[in-house]
A and B are shown apart, each in its own frame.
Chain A
Amino acid sequence: MEKRLNKKDFDNFITSLRGKGYKTIAPKKDNNLIVLDEVQGGGEISLDHVITNNSIKEFFFPKTEKVLSYRMEKNNVQIEEPEDFAVKSVIFGSRPCDAFSLPVMDKVFNWDCSDKFWVQRREAVTIVTIACDKCDTYCFCTSVGLAPDAKGGSDVLFTKISGDDYVVETVTEKGESLIKEFEGVFSDPLSEASDRQVATVEKKFEIEKVKSWLDENFVHTVWTDFSLKCIGCGACTFVCPTCHCFDIVDECTMTKGDRVKNWDGCQFKMFTMHTSGHNPRSTQGERWRQRIMHKFKYYVEKFDSILCVGCGRCSRVCPADMNISEMLEIIATEASQPGNKE
C-alpha cells in the first residue's frame, strides 16, 4: 500500500497515534543532541539530522532492564515477573540502518531459546522509518549491503519527494494495519512519478574481501596497530544498534531487589576476565579484534548476518577518533595485498 503525507501533517499523525494509546517515539532535540525519545506531538520532531545520536536498540533492549524482582523475608524468597515492559508503541522517523538492526538482532535473541523481553517488545512496537535524504562521511550502509532507503526491519517507510511531501510505503502486515488504522491522516499518492530524495552513500569497501581477510588473519599486526589509540571506553559498543552484549546483576535492599540486564561491551578489560584473574583477551588489540571479528565473521558464520548496519555512530562517538569504516577499508585493501602477519 502506498500513501502520501505532508510534513505539516506529522503532528496530526503523532496526535492520532497517541489518541489511540500508542506511545510515540521520534527524533527530537535535546540540547546539542538529536535523540530518539518519546514525543507528545509532531512539533517536537526534528528531521534535519543525518542520524540520531542514540540508536533504536534501547527501545527493545534497554540500557538497564529488570528481568525479575524478588522479595526476601528471612529465608522465604518470592520471585515476581516484570510486567508491562512491552508497551504498544510506534517509533517514527528512525533511519533504515537502525531499522535493519532489528531483524539482525532477532537472530541472537531467538536462537535456541527466546528472550521474551526482546521478543515481546518487538511484537509491541511498529517501526516507521524515514529514508535518509542526507548522509555524512561516517555513513557506510552501502558497504554492508544496505541503502539509505532500505526497507528491511521497517514496517512502514517514508521517503521524501517534492516539497515537504513524503511517499508512505507499507512494508509489513503490521505496517499495513497501522496505516489502515490511521487512514484518514494520509493522502493518496501523487498521480505522476516524483523524484525521491535519497542520499547517495559512497561504497567504501567490499565486504566479501573483509570477510575473506578475517578468515585468514586472526593473528596480524593490524589488531595491535588499530587499537593503539583505543582507550577502551566502550562508547562504540553502547551507541551501536547491533551490539547486544550484556551483564546480569542484582540491585537490592535487604528485603527486596531486582535482577537486571545491563549493557556491557567487549571493549572493557573485565568483560572476559575469569575469577581466577586469567583473561583470554587481556590486551586492547585482542578486544578490538573481537569486535571486528564478531561483527564481520563470527556473526555471519553463526547467524548469516553481518552484525553491522553501517550507521557510523561508533566512529562519530569515538573520543580517540577511531574510524571503523576506514579500518575496514584498510582490511579490504590488505585482502588483495598479503599483509605482514606476525
Chain B
Amino acid sequence: MDNIYRPYLMNIRDMIEEAPGVRTFRLNFLNEDEGKKFQFKAGQFALYSAFGYGECTFCIASSPTRMDAIECTFREAGRVTNALRELNVGDTLGFRGPYGNVFPIEEWEGKNLVFIAGGIALPPLRSVIWNCLDLRDRFKDVTIIYGAKSVADLVYKHELKEWDARDDVNLITTVDPGGETPDWPGKVGFVPTVVEQAEPSSNNAIAIVCGPPIMIKFTLPVLEKLGFKQEKVYTTLENRMKCGLGKCGRCNIGCTYVCKEGPVFTAEEINKMPDEF
C-alpha cells in the first residue's frame, strides 16, 4: 500500500523574485520516470515541503500545457515558506500532489473569459490563464483584471507586460490607493471597484475570480450586477489544508472538503455554503 504522505523529490531548476517576499520556483522531478507519469490540470494544488521544516499548501502556478517544469509562487509568511525561501537553485524540496478539482476549461470553449485576481492570488489563475492562452483559438475575448496593494507587489511583472503587449488579451492592472508610483500607467483603486468601472460584458462570458476572501466577497456582487450568472463565475478557495486528502479535518466548509471537492467552486456553489471561508 502506498504511503499517501510521501512526497516526490523535486529539484529547483530556477527561481524568480516576483515581488518583495514573493518568489517563484521552477521545479523538475528528481526521478525522471515520476516526472513523465505526472499529470495535473489547472486549478489543482500541491503540498510543498522544506525538509526539516514541514509542508505548506499552494497552487500549481504553471500551466499543464507547459510541462517542462512545475512552478509555484509563494510569499514568505511563516515557518515553512521562510525555509523554502532559504533554498537555492539545485536544492531539493518535497512535492505532494496534484490535489483537488480543476477549472472546467473544456466547458468554456467558445466563450469570453474574464480573469479577476488580487495580490498573491494571481498564481492560481496564471495556470489557467496560460492554459487558455496556449489554446487561444478555442476562446473568444480574454480580459485579465489584476490588482495588488502597490506597484511593487504585482507578481509576474514580465508576464503582465507580455499579456499587455498581446492583441488578443485585454489586461487591466490596478493598485490600491497610495500604492501607485509617479510613472504607474495602470489604474488606482480596489479590484471590485475597477471591475465595476471596467464593466466586462457578461454576454457569453465566464468570470474566474481569485483573491483574498474579502476581495472575493466584494467582487461577486459586482459580477452579479454586471449580469454574470452565479454558475458562470468561478473561484478557488484557499482554506487551510494540511493533508490535502480529506482526512486531517480542517478545510471543510459545511459538508464540503475544500481539498477534495474544491478548491475550484462556482459562485452558485459558494452561495449555498455556510459562511466559513
Contacts and interface: CB of A to CB of B under 8 A. Distances in A.
Interface in A99-117: 108-109, 111-116
Contacts of A275: 56, 77-78, 81
Contact of A245 (B52, B81, B248, B254): B248
Contacts of B268: none
Given A72-B52, A114-B4, A246 B243 contact: yes
A116 B1 contact: yes
A322 to B, nearest CB: 20
Contacts of A319: none
Contacts of B92: 75-77
* Interface size class of chain A, counting residues whose CB lies under 8 Å from the partner chain: 35 or more
A272 B1 contact: no
A261 B4 CA distance: 12
Given A75-B92, A250-B53, A257-B51, A112 B245 contact: yes
B180 interface: no
Nearest to A261: B5
Interface residues of B, number: 45
Interface in B209-268: 212-214, 238-240, 242-243, 245-255, 260
Interface in B22-55: 49, 51-55
A259 B5 contact: yes
Provide the main secondary structure of the chain A interface: mixed
Interface stretch (A204-212, A278-286, A334-342): A278-286
B277 interface: yes
Instruction: Give the dominant DSSP class at B's interface.
Output: loop
Contact of A246 (B1, B242, B277): B242
Nearest to B253: A280
A264 B241 CA distance: 13
A79 B55 CA distance: 15
Nearest to B238: A274
Contacts of A298: 252, 254-255
A243 to B, nearest CB: 8
B276 to A, nearest CB: 4
A200 interface: no
Contacts of A111: 246
A271 interface: yes
A67 B5 contact: yes
B2 interface: yes
B246 A108 contact: yes
A278 B215 CA distance: 12
B277 to A, nearest CB: 5
Nearest to A307: B249
A274 B240 contact: yes
A109 B213 CA distance: 30
A273 interface: yes
A18 B98 CA distance: 44
Given A70-B51, A108-B247, A248 B255 contact: no
Interface string B100-143: 00000000000000000000000000000000000000000000
B161 interface: no
27 contacts: A68-B5, A70-B51, A72-B52, A76-B92, A77-B9, A77-B92, A77-B94, A79-B6, A79-B7, A246-B243, A247-B248, A248-B55, A249-B54, A252-B51, A259-B5, A259-B54, A271-B250, A272-B240, A275-B78, A275-B81, A276-B212, A278-B213, A280-B277, A281-B276, A290-B276, A294-B252, A298-B254
Given A67-B5, A302-B255, 10 more contacts: A77-B9, A108-B247, A119-B1, A245-B250, A246-B249, A249-B54, A264-B242, A272-B240, A273-B240, A280-B239
